[in-house]
Amino acid sequence: MSDGILKDILALEQQIEAELGREQERAERWFANVCRAIDQELHAEQDATERATKQQSAAEIRCARQAAAQKLYQGRRRARRLIELPERTLLPFLAEPLQTVMTGRADDCPHGKG
């Protein structure tokens, strides 16, 4: 082979290697950008999920508090009604249990001990 052809082949090989180097760098930059974009998307999804979970938890807490407040209100209302019942209304319901307790016929230890 002549020196001219050999020099042309070496020059072409160097051009190819330089082009491969540039393509490698371009591919690495592209890959880094894709990784960054995926990472940002992942963080955004995680943040959205966390916000949604907090909102759902807050809503569930509000709902539970409302239900508890309603039960408390109803319990207090019922207690007030019971307190306001006249004695003549209560006596028929209490007569038998009171008589059992007063006469000592009540079995205060149903298990048989004591």
**For the segment 75-96, what is each residue's pLDDT rounded down to a tens digit?**
999 999 988 888 888 888 888 8
Q: Range of 60's domain?
A: 17-99
pLDDT band at 113 (very low <50, low <70, confident <90, very high): low
Q: How far is the C-alpha of 101 from the C-alpha of 104, rounded, in Å?
A: 5
pLDDT band at 108 (very low <50, low <70, confident <90, very high): low
Q: How far is the C-alpha of 111 from the C-alpha of 4, rounded, in Å?
A: 116
- Whole-model pTM: value is 0.49
pLDDT tens track for 14-68: 999 999 999 999 999 999 999 999 999 999 999 999 999 999 999 999 999 999 9
Structural domain tally of the chain?
1
- On whether residue 35 sits in a domain, the answer given is yes
